[in-house]
Amino acid sequence: MNPLQVRNLTKKFTSTSTAVDHISFELKRGETLGILGANGAGKTTTISMLLGLLTPTAGAITYFGKDFFKHRSEIMQQVGSGTAYAQLPTQLTIFRNLDIFGRLYGIERKARHARIQELLEKLGMWHFRNRKTSGLSAGEMTRIILAKAFLHTPSVVLLDEPTASLDIDIAQTIRRFIKEQQGFGKSFIITSHNMHEMTEVCDRILVMQDGKIIAASTPYMLAKSTHQTTLSLMVGNNIDKCVAFAQEKGLKHTIIRSTIEIEIDEQNVAAILTELASRSIAYSDIEIRKPSLEDYFLELQRKRRKKPTS
């Protein structure tokens, strides 16, 4: 049984404003599912409904085979959540904040304190445990919110923009922590604008646009669906020969001074290089750039801007 099933989930804020439009998907056990989309695509609204913070206009949410709205309290004992935009009571220390949440989850005192220490140490925040949250930076607050999300050892974790606006080193610490938790068989849903992050941590990605799911696949297959591999060759005086070769083969190419960039299918890279060698077309440097999730997303946005409005 999959830990989460969503069927025809819809959220209308007004009769003419539909934030989420009849989306359906499943989260598999041990899977990390990313939700990708531009601002306003419906990502946060979807997460909010999955946490019971917003009431759907229509549709069904099922966790562990149980209706979410009939068994919400029971289900939330197995679900963790966090966002880079969350806040905690500012006059309480980090430890006190987490201790209160641990009590709410019914965790026994000794186990609760051990779990708080374990999580804060992994996130590099144990030495700040007696600091009030009012003085925390964005990166420090995010790490505390993550500790809260994992405090009760949930089976499913929903993270909305967990590394938004964070420094590179802090974002990497958070990604490393998430990947470690993945090793324990937990299921994740993550939204993010960071394409590298989505590629690194997600098994599968749902692409949302205007409240609908318009694509669902692995990061690799989404990237490959839009862009081919780019073969970049620094050819110097052989530039004219390379251009003639690309034109002969019908390959899309771009000239940048003494470098030619040729778009080809990844499986044809070796054949192209072999044929260039057979024609005595030498190059002094080579770079093979595979398509990325960012390429896919940028192409998606370009197509959307070009789409005529009714």
Question: How far apart are alpha carbons 254 and 150 in whole angstroms?
Answer: 49
How is residue 309 annotated by DSSP? P
216-226 per-position pLDDT tens digit: 999 999 988 87
What tokens were used for 249? 């083969």
Element (DSSP H or E) covering residue 49? helix 43-50
- Same domain flag for 33 and 109: yes
Residue 285 lies in a domain: yes
79-96 per-position pLDDT tens digit: 999 987 888 999 999 999
Residue 297 lies in a domain: no
The total number of structural domains in the chain stands at: 2
Q: What angle do CA 134, 138, 142 make, to 5 degrees?
A: 95
- Same domain flag for 34 and 168: yes
**Dihedral over Cα of 212, 31, 181, 103: its sign:** positive
Q: What is the total residue count of the chain? A: 310
Question: What is the structure's pLDDT at 247?
Answer: 94
Residue 308 lies in a domain: no
Q: Distance between alpha carbon 187 and the CA centroid of its chain, in Å?
A: 13
Residue 257 lies in a domain: yes
CATH number at residue 26: 3.40.50.300
- Same domain flag for 8 and 86: yes
- Same domain flag for 129 and 259: no
Amino acid identity, residue 145? I
| Rounded alpha-carbon distances, angstroms, from residue 27 to 5, 7, 38, 155, 158 | 6, 12, 22, 12, 11
Paired residues of 233 in beta bridges = 260, 286
- Same domain flag for 143 and 170: yes
Question: How far apart are alpha carbons 119 and 126 in whole angstroms?
Answer: 8
pLDDT at 304 over 90: no
165-193 per-position pLDDT tens digit: 788 888 888 888 999 999 888 999 999 88
Task: State residue 72 phi and psi, 5-degree precision.
Answer: -60, -50
pLDDT at 310 over 60: no
How is residue 93 annotated by DSSP? B
- Same domain flag for 158 and 110: yes
194-205 per-position pLDDT tens digit: 888 899 999 999
Q: 222: how many CB neighbours lie within 10 A of its CB? A: 25
- Could you list the residue range(s) of the whole structural domain that residue 38 is in? 4-223
Q: What is the pTM of this model?
A: 0.84
- Same domain flag for 159 and 62: yes
Q: 262: how many CB neighbours lie within 10 A of its CB? A: 23
Element (DSSP H or E) covering residue 272? helix 269-278
